[in-house]
Every structure is written in C-alpha cells, then in structure tokens.
C-alpha cells in the first residue's frame, strides 16, 4: 500500500489548519464550489516532486491573509516502511522537504512517494497544445522513474542557455558544442524514459479486463521525427542551428514531442472522440499506470482525481470505483455532493469540506 495515513495542512491556501486521519481507503471529498476540496488534492500532490497539480509557485500557496508561508506534514505508509514527511515554504522561498526529520531532495521524495493526477483542466488534453500532453506523460514517467526530473531539469537548463545564444545571434559553433552534447545526453534519457513508460502503459492496458477503452499511444516529434539515440539528437541539434538562429529558439528535441492517442477499438484519434470518451481514455491511462506500478513496485501510486465523475457515465463511474478499490489505491476524489460517491458505500472514507469567510474546514465522518 502507498497511502497517507495522516495529513496536516497549515496555512495552506484556504486551510488555516486541517488535520486528517486516513485509513488507506480511497478518500471521497465533497463540498460546495470554492469550499477548498482541490486545495487538499494540491496539498497531497506536493508529496511528490515538482510544483504540484496547479503548477503554482510556493508563495501562491500560502494563505492570502497571512502569507507567512505554509507547511504540510504527512505520514506515508509505503509497502515496507512508514515515513514522516514535512514539506513547507517560508516567506515565498523555494519549498523544502524533510523525510524522517532529515532534509531531503525532491527526487528522494519521488523515490518513496508516487502521485499521479487528473484534474478538470486536463479534460481538453487531447485537443489542446502538445505541452499539456507532454506534461501528463512526464508525470506518469516520473511515477515510474523519479530520476526523470533530474534529466528534465538538466535538459531545460542547457536548452535555456542555448536559446540565449540563439537569441543573441551567436554563430560560433564552439559555443554550442558543449551545450548540445549536454542536451543530447539528458534529452535522450528523457525520450527513452517516455518510450519505456508508454510500453508499460500499453502492456498494462492490454493485460487488464476493464470497462475503460484502450488508448493506443504514439510519441512523435512535432515534425514527425524522433532521434533514436544520443548521437542522433546531438547531430540533429547541430544541423538545426541555422534554422534555430532564425527562429531564436531550439526547434528539435524532446521538448517538442507530442503524445498521440487513439481510441483503439474505434480507430478514432482521441481528439475526435466525444468529451466523455476523451475523459475515459485519460482515466484508462491513469488506471494502467496504477496497475503497472502495483505490479512492479508492490503498490499503486496515490491518485488525485479532481471532479473525476464529470463527463463519465454512471456505469464508468462505478467501474472506476471498482478498479480503484480492487487495486487498493489511495485515490483522492472530489465532487460537489456526497451522492456522487454513494455507490462506494463504506469502501471509501468520506470527508466534507465547508467554507466560511474564506476559511475552509474539513469534517471527517
Ligand atoms: N493562497 C490562498 N489563500 C486563501 N485562499 C485561497 C488561496 N488560493 C486559493 N484560495 C481559495 O480557496 C478556495 C477553494 O478553492 P478550491 O479550488 O479548493 O475549491 P473547490 O472546493 O475545489 O471548488 P470547486 O468545486 O469550485 O472546484 C477558493 O475560493 C480560492 O479563492
């Protein structure tokens, strides 16, 4: 099992102080619009590397009226161990992590705690820009391989530097060689990790009996090509220099990849499917991710499913709940009313969130 068994939010968004005791079952959170439900999911998302599910800056997460900083404390039940985790930000500074009382990196956090999410902003994921699909895939990759964050950071840092040279119209190849070889090394690792994650997802989808449609997945570059090795990428970068100088930015590399999804049974591209079908394809991938991790790591990731029932029909909602419970995944789900979760019965832990004068309160039942 991978689950938070205790969670405390202090001065985090609309929650001045909230203390939750959890028993490992899925968590169904209900409350009116603006009550503070997604804020709880965002807090849980920070028990993994990165900026959390809203991709917000640390300063924005502090309770507005006080703005002194925020702190989250969690007890994480992992397959073989229990961890005490603190993460916080003081006066807008970068967020810190402590595991069992010792300062830790976000990558170390990713090695013990895996979190994957689906939020309403992703409902149009198949239709909108490729960046969202890359981010979705990278979050899944991160759950399989926490060191992906490091490759991603190295790649972006070198690319920023290269883009600066391009903008300044620096033409001497000597300035580019080291940066391009760094980009090729990290970029190839990034690409290979994505390819591997897709294989895991496809495998987990093929093996499972599920009410969710299978998504056929393909990773392509914006121009339909993808260098197959570090050397290929290095060469492609060197070859692209002339064009990149004209564009003032790097035009080849994994930062331009795209994830193409197809509704396998119908042979229809995901972007041409109905809204509910598009959502079902995303849920299918999240479940495949959970199944695959459960097999290889002994536990599925924690799943954050914000307003997950939106666009799903009653049959698919029931099937989703059954799969989550079958996997023994700690899924954190939100909805405006308790009736959305009634078919779960006592298979889930119910929380109600209320809001009064900008202050959220959590009630456990
Ligand atoms: N830094 C902050 N300080 C105080 N309040 C904040 C902060 N950031 C966001 N909020 C407020 O938190 C409230 C709850 O937001 P949240 O997104 O959790 O609501 P929700 O319960 O998920 O609502 P909905 O059902 O509409 O999605 C919002 O009114 C928002 O303005």
| ipTM exceeding 0.90, yes/no | yes
Mutate to test the pocket of ligand 1, among 39, 68, 122 (most ligand atoms within 8 A of CB): 39
| Rounded distance from Cα 42 to ligand 1 centre (Å) | 10
| CATH number, domain 125-297, options 1.20.1050.90, 1.10.10.920, 3.40.630.10, 3.40.50.9100 | 1.20.1050.90
CA of 36 to the centre of ligand 1 (A): 5
- Cα–ligand 1 centroid distance for 174 (angstroms): 50
Cβ 133 under 6 angstroms from ligand 1:
no
For each successive 10 residues of the chain (365 residues), what is the average pLDDT? 97 96 96 97 96 95 87 96 97 94 95 95 95 94 89 95 97 95 94 94 91 92 68 92 96 93 95 96 96 93 95 93 96 95 94 92 88
Domain covering 1-114+301-365: architecture: 3-Layer(aba) Sandwich (3.40)
- What is the position in ligand 1's atom list of the atom closest to the CA of 32? 25
Backbone angles phi, psi at 213, to 5 degrees: -70, 150
Pocket test for ligand 1, best of 28, 38, 53, 359 (most atoms within 8 A of CB): 38
Domain ranges of the chain: 1-114+301-365, 125-297
Please check whether the two domains, 1-114+301-365 and 125-297, share a CATH topology: no
What pTM, to 2 d.p., does this model score?
A: 0.93
pLDDT at residue 224, rounded to an integer: 46
CA 227 from chain centre, in angstroms, equals 25
Torsion angle, alpha carbons of 295, 289, 5, 89, to 10: 130
Cα-to-centroid distance, 360 and ligand 1 (Å) = 9
- Predicted pLDDT at 208: 87
Max Cα distance, the chain (Å): 67
| Of 171, 176, 294, residue with least CA distance to 242 | 171
**Alpha-carbon distance values, 211 to 23, 73, 321, 341 (Å):** 27, 36, 11, 18
């Amino acid at each position: 099992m991978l689950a938070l068994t205790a969670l405390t939010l202090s001065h985090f968004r609309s929650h001045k102080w909230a203390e939750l005791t959890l028993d490992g079952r899925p968590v169904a959170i209900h409350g009116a619009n603006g009550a503070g439900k997604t804020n709880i999911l965002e807090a849980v998302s920070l028990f993994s590397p990165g900026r959390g599910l809203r991709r917000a800056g640390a300063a924005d997460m502090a309770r507005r009226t006080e703005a002194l900083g925020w702190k989250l404390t969690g007890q994480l039940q992992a397959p073989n161990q229990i961890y005490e985790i603190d993460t916080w930000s003081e006066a807008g500074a970068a967020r810190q992590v402590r595991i069992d009382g010792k300062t830790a990196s976000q990558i170390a956090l990713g090695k013990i705690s895996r979190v994957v999410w689906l939020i309403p902003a992703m409902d149009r994921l198949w239709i909108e820009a490729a960046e969202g699909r890359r981010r979705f895939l990278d979050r899944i990759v991160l759950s399989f391989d926490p060191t992906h964050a490091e490759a991603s950071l190295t790649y972006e840092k070198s690319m920023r530097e290269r883009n600066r040279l391009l903008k300044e119209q620096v033409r001497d190849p000597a300035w580019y060689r080291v940066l391009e070889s760094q980009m090729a090394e990290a970029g190839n690792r990034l690409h290979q990790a994505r390819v591997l994650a897709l294989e895991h997802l496809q495998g987990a989808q093929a093996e499972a009996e599920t009410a969710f449609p299978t998504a056929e997945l393909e990773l392509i570059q914006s121009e339909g090509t993808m260098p197959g090795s570090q050397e290929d990428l290095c060469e492609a970068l060197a070859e692209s220099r002339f064009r990149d100088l004209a564009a003032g930015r790097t035009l080849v590399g994994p930062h331009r990849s795209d994830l193409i999804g197809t509704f396998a049974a119908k042979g229809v591209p995901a972007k041409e499917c109905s809204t509910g079908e598009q959502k079902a394809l995303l849920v299918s991938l999240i479940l495949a991710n959970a199944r695959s991790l459960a097999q290889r790591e002994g536990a599925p990731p924690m799943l954050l499913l914000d307003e997950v029932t939106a666009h799903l029909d009653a049959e698919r909602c029931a099937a989703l709940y059954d799969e989550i419970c079958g996997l023994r995944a700690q899924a954190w789900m939100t909805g405006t009313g308790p009736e959305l979760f009634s078919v779960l019965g006592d298979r889930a832990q119910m929380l109600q969130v209320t809001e009064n004068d900008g202050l959220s309160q959590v009630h456990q039942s």
